[in-house]
Chains A and B, each alone.
Chain A
């Protein structure tokens, strides 16, 4: 067998290399078809093969985090008396105020319109230049709002969102990215005014739990199932993906989903105890030097 890389003639070398590539691909194809044939008649073999060859993913090999919550009675007790007890224990329905930073642009208004649609019982208020954050917080407290959402923008596009839970609740600041409005989504559905169901995935650590509860407190307690709308906040590697769908059970194994409404991604930048105060106490602050390891996640 001549080594391909020793042939000096480019044409001949090319030819032999292409032939070698085709041979390899053919071998792979043959192996896979044979395996498939064997496994369609014998599904246990497939399961055995899958069970033996579990690939290492970042989620599988995540660095041990002591704050991951797993059926901890202490956490349950803590959560019964935290700042969200108004929502969870007393059943106060959410009332959300949505505003923007000063001098917003069109994209921000469009995004705000979508947000009003997502959260039932939300109100949009135009930001007046004479009111600072502390004034806004005071006014909303007087009018019994439970949450404030402030959309921040940079270069005419929304880039961040601050979520303030009102009666002295925590303040979370997220970086907004990959916003796509419903009109830009292909085949999107029309929303109805039914209260959506909520799915929160992968909020594992203590910090994740706080954020998860914060999101839960934005939606009404009892969803209207006949509306068949579901809003999902899925945390993967510290990125929270928001999606909204209308679902229909096709049979007991398949669900059809039609995407409604906007999609966006949030990444938590900091969490503050108490309402927004630049000099206040930060419960968690993201710094790029914290991401030393590819397998380390905080939420």
Chain B
């Protein structure tokens, strides 16, 4: 068989600049040689692992007629030393080449399995690689740009600062405002109160002279009654809210 494989065609053979390789899974070395071809040798052995368990595969000429049962799968011990002894026992009286290559494979396989197990334990602490989803990224950049435009940050910040100033959140003599501006704000407030009281005055029908006198008095009175009126309104609102809530429930 070897003549055919080597000279003519073997589908597992890979020719490269450095040499010939064999892609067959049962090959003990990776090379395409007369000694290490699992097809050309009627007596052959390899060590392979499946799902983290290491097996010894043995092929003998007695089973050459039934390809389905050709390879004998022997589970090796998890203990490295014992596995070595097992190989020696199973492949007793075999040529040294096969035994040696099997042991080398066993060593390599156990080493890489140990490494894999260690890495898995540390996987939590290694940075997790997450793929960049192109569509999601594109959508998000676009939405961010639109949100920024909609946010109108400068205006929002200015509005918030002015609200805080007007609501006296900075106290009565704030450090972050120029005196003149603060006076302007205070006068603005007084002006609003006066405007309110003026409007209520106009509703009352009285003579002008009396109006003038009573304006001053009523300003004070209006001031006082304004506050109590507000409270009354608030109570009404509060009651209305209650009604809403009960209906809701």
| Residues of chain A having any CB pair with chain B under 8 Å | 57-59, 101-102, 132-134, 175, 177-178, 199, 201, 225-228, 230, 232, 234, 236-239, 241, 243, 245, 247-255, 257, 265, 267, 278-279, 288
Q: Which of B125, B153, B174 contacts A234 (CB 8 A)?
A: B153
Which residues of B are found within 8 Å of A243, using beta-carbon distances?
Answer: 153, 157
Residues of chain B with a CB closer than 8 A to A227's CB: 176
Residues of B close to A247: CB separation below 8 A: 157, 161, 176
A239 to B176, CA, bound (A): 30
Q: Is A236 a contact partner of B125 (Cβ separation < 8 A)?
A: no
Instruction: Give bound CA distance, A270 to B11, whole Å.
Output: 52
A57-B150, A265-B144 in contact; A199/B160 too (CB < 8 A)?
yes
A-B interface, 8 closest residue pairs, ranked by CB to CB distance from nearest: A236-B151, A226-B175, A237-B147, A132-B125, A225-B176, A236-B147, A255-B158, A252-B185
Majority-rule SS of B interface residues: helix
7 contacts between A and B (CB under 8 A): A177-B140, A177-B144, A234-B153, A236-B150, A239-B148, A252-B181, A257-B158
- Decide if A252 touches B184 in the complex (CB within 8 Å): yes
Residue A178 contacts which of B144, B153, B175, B181 (CB distance < 8 angstroms)? B144
Give the bracket for the number of chain B residues in contact with chain A: 35 or more
Interchain Cβ contacts within 8 Å, total number: 96
Please tell me if B242 contacts chain A, counting CB pairs below 8 Å.
Answer: no
- With contacts A234-B151, A234-B153, A236-B150 taken as known, whether A278 is within 8 angstroms of B160 at the C-beta atoms is no
Check if A102 sits within 8 Å of B127, measured CB to CB.
yes
Pairwise interchain contact B147-A232, C-beta atoms closer than 8 A: no
Question: Is residue B30 within 8 Å, beta carbon to beta carbon, of the partner chain?
Answer: no
With A226-B176, A239-B144 known to touch, is A245 a contact of B157 (CB < 8 Å)? yes
Which A-chain residue is minimally distant from B185 (CB atoms)? Answer: A252
Interface positions of B from 112 to 148, Cβ below 8 Å from A: 124-125, 127-128, 133, 136, 140-141, 143-144, 146-148
